[in-house]
Chains A and B, each alone.
Chain A
């Protein structure tokens, strides 16, 4: 298998960012088809396609769309989660920059199916280029009747707004994102079954659909070519249909976004990205920083699909795939992961607020050469105390990579704690380490 460019097919063509160029390449065929369909038929088409949320959780998209009240009694909102923050992931950024009309058309289709009045694209504050590209596209869409009042004669009135974040990973969590959109600190809210689903009471307590950028974009080919066609992609997997964009980075020769059909072996993704750089493959984090890492042996058999990757011991997540070479000190890598989650924990719940900092402190002391016997057990114990006990998924996401690294590379942690230095004693490993951890590596 090679790349399968469904969403990224025209992403290298600058004209695709303009309405004219988009239309010339088949743009808005999907909306034109959808406008002749019953609302339920649009949702059923998405159901047939087997589309699952591309933001990380893999939740069936049609269930969200189907959950909105059919007899409209109040405003309905649509949110596009473009707060891409997962370390290792940069696919939404490229989609917004190079294929803005796919996102807009996908959202308009969703609006048509769910009678939404307004849509908000919540973009992380740093992504100014992506926001500018979407801004220009939205303005053009308004000017030509693709947004605003009575879109393409469908009777749909749909306004689309851009809302910029201001630096918070937590806002990628859907309930925190809605808090942030409403002008609050980006903290998560109670979720189902303790509170209504967003489809019943989401942003401003109104029925709300919230999907990832890539999910909305994927709705376009599904409506254009049909759900029956879409399921032929990834047909050899258990329950992963269509294509997925993986962002490949770290120690590879050609880092970048690669769109593949579900069911593609992980090693083929590595080949697409030009193979390993600077040394042999040691580990891979296939779905963004929060998923457990795979060692080189696991990688040989890993298949990129939701259930298949789960069985190998990891997850598709958001598709941020980092390949690590033999010079990677796993302890150092894990420490940096822990720092990320400690910095980004919103502080709302105790297991995550305290647990992420404890993990960071223990990993830092190991990296400083002051590890204590029993630190590995202590770390594992803390991960168990966070996992499943935090208010939102950030705690789980902080615990999994630490537990995963200790499970896959226990000898590296043991060695570091016992000897006060890294088992990976190469100049390359030293070059990656922060200054205060240099003592753990031999000087050249």
Chain B
């Protein structure tokens, strides 16, 4: 796994402070305000704040998205970028496809044939794990244990787990997703934001 120890990988540049363009919707600002009441510090809103940003910026925590979270929470860009890049579910490297398909290949899934599922997905979509199809519809990823080992081999698509999957299931899944205009990536981020909020705090 030499890619694990790649050093000095290209890192996108932060926007200059005077170039900041704020994109959060009124709904997002209200959500962030509600979240502030949940914690004794504003800093604790960084994780949920990044989830809001991932939704507002079409599933991609670009430097502009990170800068907006830093600005709104009164933290430095470096601090928020440091947090964002630590967690695997924040997409900071590149714009993902509309639907992210994550294949668990960890222990139980490995034992139940997950590598053949990963091979099949790669062959079917013509891209490798970690890549996005040229039409921007699918991104596929290998993930560590999703903790749904009773459903091995299991996939995560948006906020849903799919499993145990066969090659035929994947055919059907890809066909279904291709015809869906909504983005599973954005929908996952939104679901995660919503579960933080009480019914009285959620946008009507």
Contacts and interface: CB of A to CB of B under 8 A. Distances in A.
Interface of A: 75, 84-90, 93, 123-129, 131-132, 134-135, 138-139, 142, 161-169, 180-187, 204, 247-251, 255-257, 285, 289, 320, 322, 324, 328, 332-333, 336-337, 339-340, 342-344, 346, 357, 360-361, 364, 431-435
Contacts of B191: 128, 132
Interface string B170-203: 0000000000000000001001101110110000
A166 B50 contact: yes
B149 A166 contact: no
Interface stretch (B7-15, B24-32, B110-118, B131-139): B110-118
A273 B57 CA distance: 44
B33 interface: no
Interface in B94-149: 105-108, 110-113, 115-116, 119, 144-149
Interface of B: 1, 4-5, 38-41, 43-48, 50-51, 82-83, 86-90, 105-108, 110-113, 115-116, 119, 144-152, 156, 159-161, 188, 191-192, 194-196, 198-199
A269 B40 CA distance: 45
Contact of A164 (B43, B48, B150): B48
Contacts of A285: 107
- A interface, by DSSP: helix, strand, loop or mixed? mixed
Contacts of A163: 38, 47-48, 196
Given A186-B87, A432-B111, A432-B115, A180 B47 contact: yes
Contacts of B146: 126
Nearest to A255: B150
Nearest to A273: B150
Given A89-B147, A167-B88, A340-B106, A162 B196 contact: yes
Contacts, number: 183
B48 A88 contact: no
A135 B145 contact: no
Given A128-B192, A167-B90, A322-B111, A342 B4 contact: yes
Contacts of B160: 128
Given A183-B47, A339-B1, A435-B115, A88 B144 contact: no
A444 to B, nearest CB: 14
Contacts of B112: 250-251
A422 B89 CA distance: 35
A364 to B, nearest CB: 6
A250 B112 CA distance: 6
A320 B149 contact: yes
Contacts of B149: 87-90, 247, 249-250, 255, 320, 322
A249 B106 CA distance: 12
B144 to A, nearest CB: 5
Given A84-B147, A90-B149, A357 B41 contact: no
A431 B116 contact: yes
Contacts of B89: 125-126, 165-167
Nearest to A159: B38
A129 B112 CA distance: 24
Contacts of A333: 107, 110-111
